[in-house]
Amino acid sequence: MKRLIDHAAALVALLALVALPAGAEETPAPTDPQATPKAEKKPAGKAEKKADDKKAKSKKKESVRPNPNRAPLFTLGATDKTNWALKDHLGKWILLEWTNPGCPFVKKHYRIGHMQALQKAYTDKGALWVTICSTNPNHRDFRTAEQWQKIAKDQGLASSVVLLDADGKVGRLYEARTTPQICIINPQGIRVYDGAFDDAPRAFAKEAIMAAKNYVTWVMDAVLAKKASPLRRSKPYGCSVKYQKKNKKKRRKSVN
Amino acid sequence: MKHRKRRPPRPPIWAFILLAATSTAAEDPGAEDPFGGEVEVTLIARHKTVRDASTVRVAVLFQMADEWHIYWQNPGDSGLAPEIKWTLPNGFKISKLIWPAPHRLPAEPLMMYGYDGRCLLAADVKVPRGFRGAAKIKASVSWLVCKDVCLSGKRDLSVTLNVGQQEPTVDARWKADFARHDRLMPGPSAKGAFRAIARDGRIRLAVHRAALGKKLSADPKPGFFPGVEEMLNNAAPQKVKLTDGDVFLTLTPARGGARKRLQGVFVAHTAAGRRAWRVDVPVERKKKIAAKKKETSR
C-alpha cells in the first residue's frame, strides 16, 4: 500500500511538472515595479469627444487640425486571401494586435491560451479583434498566408481576422514597435489605447502572467461599460517588429 | 528550482526516467529555437582576496556571439534590460548596478540601446568589519538577448571572495574587463556642465565642454541616451553642433512625453577614447510671450 501511494504521489508530481508552463524555469523573476512599462494615466475620453464634436461642427476645421489619435485608414490582405479595410468596419470597437509567432513575448501569452481567451471574450461582446503580422518576408519568423491558417488552427486563434503586412506599411503607419502591441479603436475611429498587452514584461510563468494587470481587459471593460478609457498609452514591450528595411543601411551595427 | 520542492520524498525509479525525458521541454521555452551559445555569462570579482570592511567590485560578464546584443537599463523602443538579483552572506551589502555607457542599436524605424561583444554589469560589495574566510556572492541573472530574433535566458552564478588580512590581490583574468568598465562608467560632471532648454517642441541639451574636463572630438559625434523610458523619441536623429566652448544636441521628446527633467547619459569621444557623463537637469522652458500672443490673436 505504501508503495502504491509512492507511485501515485510521483505520478501527481510528474503531471504537475509537465503541466507547469514552460516558462516557469526560464524567467520567473517577479516583476520589478521599476522595470514595468510606465503607464501614463490621462483624463481619457476628452480627445475623442473633441474630435467628434469638431467633426460634427465642420469638416473643414478638422482638416486643419486632424486629431492625432484618429486611426489612419488602411487595407490589408487577410490570411484567407480577402482584403480587409478598416473603413468598412468602423462603427464597432476594433482591437489591433501586432504579433509575430516566433517572438517569446508573443508565445508566452499564446502558450497558456491567454491571448486567445481575450480574443474570444471581446469578439463575443461584438468587438473586432484584428491580428496583424508586420514581419518581413526575409525574416525567419515570416509565415505565408497558408502557414498562418495552420498556426491559427493549431493555436486556436479566436481573432476576427489575421492580416499580413509584409511590407510593414501599416505597422509603420500605426508606429507599432513591438510584438505584442495593442491598439484599441473606438466606433468613431479614434484610438483610445495604444501600448502594451499588460504590465509584466518579465512574467513568463502562467501564474505571473495571469497576476499581471492586463491593459486590454482594463481598457475594454471600461469602454464597453461606456466609461472613458482608463489608460491612453503605455510603453509596449516585447520583440521589435521585424520591419522590412527601408534602405540598405547596416541594421545591427552599433554606432556612437 | 521551484519544482524540486514538489517532489515526493521517495519517488520510484521510473519517475526519474520520465522526468529526464520531459524536463527539457518543460523547463526551457527556448528549446524549440535552434540556437545556442548566443551569450555566455560569468560572475567575476576584481579582487581574489580582500580585506574586511573594504569594498570590492563584482560584475556579471556578458560575452555575446557576433550580432547578438543585450539591453541597457532603458532598452529603447523594444527589448528588455537584464535583471540581476543578488544573494549575499550576512552583513554584506551591495550597491545598485553600474551600467557602462550603452550603444545605439538601430533597426529602422526603431532604436534600441544596449551592448554587444563583451560587457560588464557591475556592483560594489561592501564586506563587513570582522569577516574572515570565504564569502560566496550569488547572482541570479536573467536577460533577453537579441539579433534579428530574441531569446530569454536565466542563470544562477556565484563567485567566492577570500577575506583576510593580507594585501588585496587583483584577479589578473578580469583586469582588462574591469579597467574598460571603469572608463565606460558614466561619471559625475561639474555643476553647470549640462543645461536643457525646451524650444519649438524639441529639447536642446547644451554641454559646457570645459566643465567636463576633457577635450571632446567631433567624430564620432557625441550623443545623449535617455535614462528614462518613453522620454525621447529614440529613433529621431540627434542634431549635433560643436562650438569652441559648447556642444549642442537637439533632442526630440516622445509623443505625449512632456518631461520636467532630462535624465540620462552623455557620451562623447575624447583623446583617451569613449567617455560618459551622467546628466540630470531640469528642462527649462523659454517663455515666448510675444509668439504666444500672436497665435491667440489670430
Boundaries of domain holding A116:
32-240
Q: Which CATH class is domain B194-285?
A: mainly beta
Task: Tell me whether residue A119 is in a domain.
Answer: yes
C-alpha cell at B288: 515666448
> So where are chain B's domains?
35-184, 194-285
The residue type of B287 is K
* CB of B273 less than 8 A from some CB of A: no
Place domain B35-184 in its CATH homologous superfamily.
Thiol:disulfide interchange protein DsbD, N-terminal domain (2.60.40.1250)
The reported pLDDT for the residue numbered B287 is 64
Torsion of CA A54, A60, A64, A67, to 10 degrees: 30
Checking if the pLDDT of A113 tops 50, the result is: yes
Checking if the pLDDT of B181 tops 60, the result is: yes
- Which of A240, A242, A249 to mutate to test binding with chain B, by most B CBs within 10 Å of its CB? A240
Checking if the pLDDT of A112 tops 60, the result is: yes
* CB of B22 less than 8 A from some CB of A: yes
The reported pLDDT for the residue numbered B135 is 97
CA distance A11 to chain B (A): 7
Could you give the CA distance from residue A92 to residue A127 in angstroms, rounded to a whole number? 6
Task: Tell me whether residue A230 is in a domain.
Answer: yes
The reported pLDDT for the residue numbered A48 is 47
B 172-201: CB under 8 A from A:
none
Task: Tell me whether residue A233 is in a domain.
Answer: yes
Could you give the CA distance from residue B64 to residue B22 in angstroms, rounded to a whole number? 29
User: How many Cα atoms occupy the beta-carbon half-sphere of A78 within 13 Å?
Assistant: 14
Checking if the pLDDT of B2 tops 70, the result is: no
Q: What percent of chain B shows pLDDT beyond 70?
A: 83
Least confident of A81-95, A137-151, B242-256: B242-256
Task: Tell me whether residue A205 is in a domain.
Answer: yes
- For residues A200-214, one letter each, b for 16 or more C-beta atoms within 10 angstroms of the residue's C-beta and e for the rest, the string is bbbbbbbebbeebeb
| Interaxial angle between packed helices A215-224 and A114-124, expressed in degrees from 0 to 180 and rounded to the nearest 10 | 10
Could you give the CA distance from residue A36 to residue A25 in angstroms, rounded to a whole number? 20
- B223 or B296: whose pLDDT is higher? B223
Using DSSP bridges, classify how beta strands B246-251 and B239-242 pair: parallel, antiparallel or unpaired: antiparallel
ipTM of the modeled complex: 0.79
The residue type of A60 is K
Task: Tell me whether residue A245 is in a domain.
Answer: no
Number of H helices, E strands in chain B: 4, 19
The reported pLDDT for the residue numbered B189 is 85
Average pLDDT rounded to a whole number, residues A57-70:
67
The Cα-based distances of B183 to A181, B118, B187, B266, B271 in angstroms read 38, 14, 9, 14, 13
Q: What confidence tens digit (pLDDT) does each residue in B87-102 have?
A: 999 999 999 999 999 9
The reported pLDDT for the residue numbered B245 is 85
Could you give the CA distance from residue B55 to residue B44 in angstroms, rounded to a whole number? 14
Checking if the pLDDT of A13 tops 50, the result is: no
Number of domains in chain A: 1
Checking if the pLDDT of B18 tops 80, the result is: no
Residues of chain B found within 8 Å of residue A24, distances taken between Cβ atoms? 2-3, 26-27
The residue type of B243 is T
Task: Please check whether residue B60 is in contact with residue B119, taking contact to mean a CB–CB distance below 8 angstroms.
Answer: no
Tell me if A10 and B8 make a contact (CB, 8 A cut-off).
yes
Average pLDDT rounded to a whole number, residues B201-205:
94
* CB of B3 less than 8 A from some CB of A: yes
Tell me if B6 and A247 make a contact (CB, 8 A cut-off).
no
Checking if the pLDDT of A249 tops 70, the result is: no
Q: What confidence tens digit (pLDDT) does each residue in A18-59 have?
A: 443 333 333 333 333 333 344 444 444 444 445 455 444 444
Tell me if A233 and B15 make a contact (CB, 8 A cut-off).
no
Could you give the CA distance from residue B193 to residue B212 in angstroms, rounded to a whole number? 7
> Which CATH number goes with the domain that contains A201?
3.40.30.10
- Which of B66, B78, B112 to mutate to test binding with chain A, by most A CBs within 10 Å of its CB? B78
Tell me if B3 and A37 make a contact (CB, 8 A cut-off).
no
Task: Tell me whether residue A189 is in a domain.
Answer: yes
- A119 or B272: whose pLDDT is higher? A119
